[in-house]
Amino acid sequence: MAYKIVEKRQLVPDVHLMNIEAPDVAAAAKPGQFIILRIDEEGERIPLTIADYDVDEGFVTIIFQEMGKTTKQLAKMAAGDELQDFVGPLGKASEIEKIGTVVLVGGGVGIAPVYPQARAYREIGNKVISIIGARNESLLILEDEMNAVSDELLVATDDGSKGHHGFVTDLVKELLDGDEKIDRIVAIGPPIMMRAVAGVTDPYDVETIVSLNPIMVDGTGMCGGCRVNIGGETKFACVDGPEFNAKDVDFNLLMSRLSLYRKEEMESLETYKKGCGDDCKCQ
């Protein structure tokens, strides 16, 4: 099978958006779900969240950050190129219902998966307050898009180059301490950020949902590589999640399991760079 890249754009340095032609996936996709792609015969299967989808045009949007071999190789591909595999939609869809006021927190590339959720919450009549954050202003993605689907948009940057000087967690805490009743918080971003949000909301008794990103292979419940510990129970993030209640998540286990292949990932990237030259323009 081949899945065509119909559009490709760099959003900020090292973060790219791609629209992939996959009409059946687009037709079934819902916020909160993800896909798994493989670039070529030798490729690794990597999971990426569905950032958007267009049923009429038949494409799915992914937004990814260059991390290692596969995402760097993907970043070099252009509109018109084809991916070998694109499986989805995988995982459970977010439970988006009318509950009142929802706070959506996106950190870094985690803003991408938050976006379709914000839109969906808003569409059915919730009040949506979004908090997005990045290291600095030049790394902030989807600000306009988020603005368009939020009643209120708050921005935090680590260096203060835009919005609040500090972490998204500071803004979450301010909201929780404020007058407005918050009915749910959804936080997606690096595990360290989700753990921090979980820590902040814990004393407040506000339902807090996070989307977990363990290493996956098949994404269908067949390998168990994606297992996470939720309230003392082992779950497979690809079929039981990826979203879970933040207070139940064992973030230390998640983070440690994510580092399992660090040595091999370096080796893979080095081999790739050697074969290609990091600045080459080959596909």
Partner 1 sequence: MSITQEMPEQPADERIHNFEEVALGYTEDQAMLEAERCLECKKPKCVEGCPVNIDIPGFVSKMKEGNFEEAIGVIKKTNTLPAVCGRVCPQEEQCEKLCILGKKSEPISIGRLERFCADREREAGVKDPVVAEPTGKKVAIVGTGPAGLTAASDLAKAGHSVTMFEALHEAGGVLIYGIPEFRLPKAIVKEEVEYIMKLGAELKVDYVIGRIKTLDQLEDEFDAVFLGTGAGLPKFMGIEGENLNGVYSANEFLTRVNLMKAYRFPESDTPIKRGSHVIVVGGGNVAMDAARSARRLGADEVSIVYRRSDDELPARREEIEHAKEEGIIFRLLNNPVRILEGENMSVNGVECIKMELGEPDESGRRRPVAVDGSEHVIDADIVIIAIGTSPNPIIFDGSKGLEVTPWGTIVVNEAGVTSLEGVCAGGDAVTGAATVISAMGAGKQAAETINDYLSK
Ligand X SMILES: Cc1cc2nc3c(=O)[nH]c(=O)nc-3n(C[C@H](O)[C@H](O)[C@H](O)COP(=O)(O)OP(=O)(O)OC[C@H]3O[C@@H](n4cnc5c(N)ncnc54)[C@H](O)[C@@H]3O)c2cc1C
Indicate the annotated binding residues for FAD. Answer: 63-65
Q: Three-state SS string across 11-73, please?
A: EECCEEEEEEECHHHHHHCCCCCEEEEECCCCCCCEEEEEEEEECCCCEEEEEEECCCHHHHH
Contact set for partner 1, span 214-243 (CB under 8 A): 217-218, 220-225, 227, 229, 234, 239
User: Binding site for [2Fe-2S] cluster: what residues are annotated?
Assistant: 223, 226, 238
Residue 38 contact among ligand X, partner 1, ligand FES, none, beta carbon within 5 to 8 Å by kind: partner 1
Stretch of 57-65, 104-112, 128-136, 254-262 contacting partner 1, by CB under 8 A = 254-262
State how far the Cα of 105 lies from the Cα of 130, in Å rounded to an integer: 6
Site for ligand FES contains 224 (CB under 6 A): yes
Residue 34 contact among ligand X, ligand FES, partner 1, none, beta carbon within 5 to 8 Å by kind: ligand X
State how far the Cα of 179 lies from the Cα of 198, in Å rounded to an integer: 20
For ligand X, the nearest residue by Cβ is 68
Contact 17, 9 (CB under 8 A): yes
Site for partner 1 contains 261 (CB under 8 A): yes
Among 8, 71, 77, 143, binds ligand X (CB under 6 A): 71
Q: Are strands 82-83 and 59-65 parallel, antiparallel or unpaired?
A: unpaired
Residue 106 tokens read as 């996106």
Nearer to partner 1, 69 or 162 (CB): 69
Contact 101, 180 (CB under 8 A): yes
Interface residues toward ligand FES, by CB under 6 A: 216-219, 221-226, 236, 238
